[in-house]
Amino acid sequence: MTTKIAGGLEHAFATQGFAAPSVEDLRDAAGVSLRTLYKYAPSRDAMIRMALEHRHQRYLAHVFGATSASSRQSLHETLDRVADWMRTQASHGCLFHAAVACAPDDRALRQRLETHKLEVSQLAVTRAGADIAPSDVMVIIEGLTQAWSLSGEAALASAKRLATLAGAEGAQVK
């Protein structure tokens, strides 16, 4: 039930933004009664957190797959998968950044954004077996994500060039 609700909420916020959807819109998107929605997410903030957690898990599965944390994946492959996410799921940018932009003083949302970005960059470095700082990988992935709506495939090519310049282009399997 929670996956269904979280997925519906994620879709509603991703397509309508965080301010526009009414509680009734969110209920309809979740496909449950208002009572059930409030049982699992008793406030709009809780609905946003539920949607972002769902998004985070889907993103990790899309970018890194269902394989174990010790599986190898080059940084270029990670960038290809991020680009595929942008093509198919998030052509308008990062939902986490959008949430913080709508509530810039919400420390919990900002912390969720930071945690998401840190986990993604650390996992990318670990999977690549690369000798590159997670903060550098974060900048490369964020650059790709933010530039996607303007540059599309050219943003992917630039991100790969930056990864190569940083010495992590293929991140040889150790």
31: left (phi over 0), alpha (psi -120 to 50) or beta: left
51/13 Cα distance (integer angstroms): 8
Q: Is the pLDDT assigned to residue 172 strictly greater than 70?
A: no
Q: Check residue 1 and give its pLDDT.
A: 86
Boundaries of every domain in the chain? 53-165
- For the chain, percent of residues with pLDDT exceeding 90: 84
Q: What is the pLDDT of residues 82-93, one digit of tens each?
A: 999 999 998 778
Q: Are 96 and 118 in contact (CB under 8 A)?
A: no
Q: What is the pLDDT of residues 100-140, one digit of tens each?
A: 999 999 999 999 999 999 999 999 999 998 889 999 999 99
